[in-house]
Amino acid sequence: MIHLFKEGNPTKPVFLLLHGTGGNEYDLLPVAEFIDPEASILSVRGNILENGMPRFFKRLAEGVFDEEDLIKETKQLYDFINQAAEKYHFDRKKVIALGYSNGANIAASLLFLYEQSLNLNNSYF
């Protein structure tokens, strides 16, 4: 997957940034850096193109998810996060998702399909 990784303080969380339709891996960087400039960042670009705009999964129509594709792309993202944790040597349990629109949808799908995929410890905030 097209992505960028910014290593931060290993005691801090790893923000998984997931853009909205038409966005890219740079869109949410200012938000993550505002929340915690010391956190690591794994920012991912969606694999699907819809009318030339990146997204994380297909739609059947405006507002209608292609659920089969959502499940497939969620698994791909889950596997990618695990591979990135190995490659970049970050603690998988520290991953917190920051998603906008389509990115928030796939973050919710990660939690639904893979309960332990994201850190839900809200004491950070």
Kindly report, residue by residue over 40-91, the tens digit of the pLDDT: 999 999 999 999 999 999 999 999 999 999 999 999 999 999 999 999 999 9
Of residues 98 and 125, more confidence is placed in: 98
Q: Output the domain CATH number for residue 57.
A: 3.40.50.1820
Q: What mean pLDDT, rounded, does the chain reach?
A: 96
* Cβ atoms 66, 58 nearer than 8 A: yes
Which of 12, 6, 38, 31 lies closest to 91 in space, CA to CA?
Answer: 12
Cβ 90 vs Cβ 57: under 8 Å: no
- Confidence (pLDDT) at 122: 63
Q: Please identify which residue in the block is written with the tokens 């819809």.
A: 50
The structural domain count of the chain equals 1
- pLDDT tier for residue 120 given thresholds of 50, 70 and 90: confident
Range of the domain at 91: 3-124
Backbone angles phi, psi at 15, to 5 degrees: -85, 125
What integer is the mean pLDDT of 10-16?
Answer: 97
Query: 30: Cβ–Cβ under 8 A, 6 or more apart, which residues?
Result: none
pTM given for the model: 0.95
What pLDDT is recorded for position 124? 59
Dmax (CA) of the chain: 42
